[in-house]
Every structure is written in C-alpha cells, then in structure tokens.
Amino acid sequence: MKYITKSERETLNVAEKFVQRLKGGEVLCLIGDLGSGKTAFTKGLAKGLGVKNIITSPTFVLLKSYTAKLKNINKLVHIDAYRLDSGAELDYIGVEEYFSDKNCITVIEWADRVKDIWPVNAIEIKFKVLKGNKREIHIK
Amino acid sequence: MIILAIETSCDETSASVLKSTGGRLELLSNVVSSQIDIHKQYGGVVPEVAARHHVQNINPVIMEALETAKIKPQKLSYLAVVSGPGLITSLIVGVEAAKALSVAWQKPLINVNHMYSHIAGNFLSKVEFPAVCLVVSGGHTELVLLKNYSQFKKIGQTVDDAAGEAFDKVAKLLGLGYPGGPAVALKATEFLISNFQFSKISLPRPLINSGDFNFSFSGLKTAVLYTAQKMKKKELEQRTSEICYEFQQAVVDVLVGKTMKAAQKHKVKTVLMAGGVAANKKLRESLRESVEAKGLKFGVPEFRLCTDNAAMVAIAGYYLAKKKRPSRDDWKKVKVNPNWELK
Ligand SMILES: Nc1ncnc2c1ncn2[C@@H]1O[C@H](COP(=O)(O)OP(=O)(O)OP(=O)(O)O)[C@@H](O)[C@H]1O
Ligand SMILES: [Mg+2]
C-alpha cells in the first residue's frame, strides 16, 4: 500500500488508521532518510494505540517503551537503530522478548541497519522525502 | 556525611567520593573511565561493548575513587547510584555493584535519577531558589523548575528530537563528523570569523512563541535538509559553515528564549544549565548574558561536571539523603528503570 502525504498531520493520520490492522505481536521495520517521517509516523501509531506519553526520538537512548491501551495491545516499544551497526546489539539488549510478545507492537527506525534480526513476520514500511513537505509511505 | 556514588548509565564508568562538613561540599575524587573514543570508531554507541567495558571497569574505578579520596569503606555514610534513565544493560552493571556493596558494607543505598544528577552538578555551591534549570544533552532537552535542592518539577521538554541529537543529525546531513555538536559549533565559528555579515540563510525557531515550555527540533533538522537539498554540491560545500552558523543560532535562540520566559513566569532568582550540550560555548554565553541582563544569578557546572560523571550523582545523593534519611534496607527497592522520567 502506498500513500503520499503532504504534511506531518497527514502522516500521523495514515499511521493512526494503520493501527486498525494490527493485532498485537507485529514488528514494524521503518526505513527512510533523516527527516523522512519515521518518528512522526510512530507518533501517529502511538495515538492510535492509546499511548498517553509524548513520543520523542529514541535515537540516543536506543529504546523507549510505552504503555498502550487498545484491545489486547498493552505496550509500544520504539527502537532506533540509527547509531547501531548490527542487530546483534539489539539482541543484546533483549528485544527478542518484545518480538515474541503478542500484546506488544514493536517499531524500529533505521531498521535497514539491523536486517539480520528482522523476525519472519516483520512489516517493512519505507519513507521517501519527495518535493517539499511531501512524503511517500510504502507499507509492504 | 561521606558518599560514594556510582554512574554507568551510558558510556562512562564513573565513581566519586563526596564529603560534606556542615553543609560545605567537597569532592574528594571523581574517576571517569570514558569509552567515547571506542564508540567513536563505530560512529555511535555499541551496547554490548559498553556493558562489557562497564563490567571490566566498575571495580577498579570504585577502588580508585576510594583510594584517591583516602576513604575506607567503613567511613562511608551512604552509597548512591543512578538507576535510570539510560541503557538497561549499562545501568544494571552500576546498580548491581552498588547493591552488592550496600549489603556487604552495610551502607544505605540512595537511588538517583540521571537527569536530576545532571542538575545537581550545579549544587557544589549555594543556589538561590526558586531556580529553573535547562537540561540539554544528546537524549534530553528539558526545563525543570526547582523549589529547593530536592523538590522540582519538569515544566517542559522536547516533543521530538533533543537539542544534542539535532546537532548530531545536522552534522550528518552536512557530511561533518561524529560527534556532531563540536563539529557544527566549529563550522559556525568559521563562518563568524570569515564573514562580517549575517547569514543569508534563515531557519525556523520552532515553538518559540508556543506559550508553553516545550521544545521541538525535528522541524529544524528538516529545514536544514531542505536547505541542503536546494543547493548544488559546490554551493553546499561553500555554505556549510553558514548553515551551521544559522542552525546553531536557531537552537540557541529557542533554548535561551524559552528558558528566559520560564524564568520570568516563575519569578526565579537563578537560572541553571546542565547536560552535555552545556559545553556549547555559544549557548552557555548567550544564556549567561540574557540571565545577567535581567539581574538574575546564572550557574553552569564546570565542564568536567557537565558530561556524565559520578560526582554529580554524589551531590544529588547528598541532597536526597538530607530530604529523607536513607535506611539499610533501601537497596531492596532499587531497580534499574531505563525509562525513568523526571516528573
Ligand atoms: N508529509 C510529512 N510527513 C511527515 N513529516 C513531515 C511531512 N512534511 C513535513 N514533515 C516534517 O518532517 C520531519 C520528519 O521528522 P522525523 O523526526 O519524524 O523523521 P525521522 O524519519 O524520524 O528522522 P530521523 O532519521 O532523524 O529519525 C518533521 O519535522 C515533520 O514536521
Ligand atoms: Mg526518527
């Protein structure tokens, strides 16, 4: 599914709607350049999942986890591989546990940097910066 | 009161001994074993490497802190340790070491928040309250209102990227090195030296008039991206320092502007600064000027107390111990909390 959004708000909306397709246990692998909207998209997901906190960029802390409230989904885990070179590093901090949790949604920014640990059910979402504020979001 | 503090929340393994005599604080030691050079090779942080180094360094660093201070464990009043926020695999090394020592030496353990410890880096000398503190680092950008040394409230924070992160990402966008903060600051100075005019590039000052005390830096990152995209390669090369200059100015304008608004609204007597980005000279001096122009007191920790270190944890521990007397059983309640936000 491909979307072209013209503002951050539209990206948030795409993400919030996308939440309806989630059952819990999904791992969303976000790929795209700096400023392409991966964190913005995650903010939309969080809204859809009923997360109360402000979603901030996890680039420096690598991982943030939030309490979610939507049907059986009670957790949103927001990971950022921007500063990592391989998935082994994420393994090391215990992300496997989240991948196999049916009540958790895991989002990984810069997921192309940690392809070695993508689970089989990973959902790839690609972001492209088009002209100006246009972004292409491709959910595979 | 004598406190031994331990800090392993991110890249540095650190231990420090602090002594207070009638309210006068004296740092007897502050040992920091940095991994920055190691992580520089990777252009980022490597959790596995970080944790392994913490494990290797923790005991020697603690012992060196005690030896330098010439303090025997029996002489300690308390232990203090950072249990969050930070990287779980790094935090756990310091926390478990501190708990073990608390049991072995029968010394109460004080649980310290990493962000609060940054603020406490300002408390070596007396502070006039109320105060507001701007805490800026790679992972955080927050405004904290302090009623006294140990009672505080977060009144604002970034809603997306932290200020330090924005510096790093702009450096990346412009092809400058890691860590990005110093690289961008250096380029900005180059522009200032070679040009007696203002930058012709204009970047936004996000949320500067938002009425609350929140920050946003992702839009600024995006604006730099658009600016760079519009230029041909040659032009971009020539104007990189100009972009850096304007970018840094935009960050400084927003941070200083909002901190001053908070100072005014909450009628503070003192404005403080803390965190790694406090090392940015332009930011520090601009804030100092604005604060002093209003007749308020300004404080920023000396440089070695701005980056992660255990001395500030010891100072934080001292004020927490004064607020609530620690007990020997407290170690049982200390748990690593990677998401521990200041309230
Ligand atoms: N259509 C759009 N969708 C999403 N964001 C947009 C759009 N138009 C403009 N923007 C802006 O682009 C920026 C997206 O930044 P964001 O931090 O979400 O990107 P990111 O992909 O997470 O970057 P990073 O690689 O630094 O983590 C924001 O400043 C946002 O306001
Ligand atoms: Mg992001």
User: Could you tell me the residue ranges of all domains in chain B?
Assistant: 2-120+305-333, 131-300
| Per-residue model confidence (pLDDT) at position B39 | 57
Between helices B163-173 and B180-194, what is the axis angle to 10°?
A: 70
Mean pLDDT of B271-289: 95
Predicted pLDDT of residue B33: 87
Question: According to the model, what pLDDT value does residue A93 have?
Answer: 84
Regarding the beta carbon of A42 and ligand 1, being less than 6 Å apart is answered: no
More confident residue, B228 or B43: B228
| Mean pLDDT, all residues of chain B | 93
Tokens 């539209």 belong to which residue?
A: A10
Atom 6 of ligand 1: nearest residue by CA position: A8
Beta strands, E only, chain B: 2-7, 13-21, 24-33, 78-84, 109-113, 131-136, 141-146, 152-157, 270-274, 297-299
Per DSSP, the three-state class of B134 is strand
Question: Distance between CA B186 and CA B169 in Å, rounded?
Answer: 15
What angle (nearest 5°) sits at the alpha carbon of residue A37, between those of residues A35 and A43? 130
B266-282 exposure pattern, b = at least 16 Cβ within 10 A, e = fewer: bebebbbbbbbbbbbeb
> Quick one: what percent of chain A has pLDDT higher than 70?
100
pLDDT of residue B44: 59
Domain B2-120+305-333 sits in CATH at 3.30.420.40
Calculate mean pLDDT across residues B54-58. 92
Query: For residue B171, how far is its CA from the centre of ligand 1 (angstroms)?
Result: 17
| Beta-carbon separation of A93 and B42 below 8 A | no
The answer on pLDDT for B35 being more than 90 is no
Q: Which of A102-106, B166-170, B199-203, B308-312 has the lowest mean pLDDT?
A: B199-203
Write down the domain spans for chain A.
2-139
To the question of domain B131-300 being in CATH 3.30.70.20, the answer is no
Q: How far is A133 from chain B (nearest CA, A)?
A: 9
At B41, is the pLDDT very low, low, confident or very high (cuts 50, 70, 90)?
Answer: low
B52 touches chain A (CB under 8 A): no
Q: How confident is the model at residue B197 (pLDDT cuts 50, 70, 90)?
A: low
pLDDT given at position B232: 96
User: A21-44, pLDDT tens digit by residue?
Assistant: 999 999 999 999 999 999 999 999
Tens digit of pLDDT for each residue in B9-23?
877 899 999 999 988
Check whether the bond before B204 is cis (ω within 30° of 0).
no
- For strands B78-84 and B109-113, give the pairing: parallel
Residues B57-71 have a mean pLDDT of 96
Q: What's residue B94's pLDDT? A: 97
Q: What is the ipTM of this complex?
A: 0.94
A64-99: per-residue pLDDT in tens? 999 999 999 999 999 999 988 888 888 888 899 999
Determine what percent of chain B is predicted with pLDDT higher than 90.
81
pLDDT given at position B131: 98
Using DSSP's 3-state secondary structure scheme, residue B153 falls into: strand
Per-residue pLDDT reduced to its tens digit, B214-255: 999 999 999 999 999 999 999 999 999 999 999 999 999 999
pLDDT > 90: percent of chain A: 89
B165/A57 Cβ within 8 A: yes
Q: Which residue has the higher pLDDT, A14 or B196?
A: A14
What distance in Å separates the CA atoms of residue A95 and residue A85, rounded to the nearest whole number?
15
pLDDT at B52: 86
Q: Which residues pair with A78 in a beta bridge?
A: A64, A107
B2-120+305-333 and B131-300: identical CATH topology? yes
pLDDT of residue B185: 94
Average pLDDT over residues B95-123: 97
Whether the per-residue pLDDT at B178 is higher than 80: the answer is no
**Most A-contacting residue of B35, B36, B38, B45 (CB-CB within 10 A), to test interface:** B45
**CB-nearest partner of B173 from A34, A82, A84:** A34
Rounded average pLDDT over A111-121: 95
- Of the candidate CATH numbers 3.40.50.300, 3.40.50.720, 3.30.160.270, 3.40.50.2300, the domain formed by A2-139 belongs to 3.40.50.300
Going by CA atoms, what residue is nearest to atom 15 of ligand 1?
A35
CB atoms within 10 A of CB B308: 25
Does the pLDDT of residue B196 top 70, yes or no? no
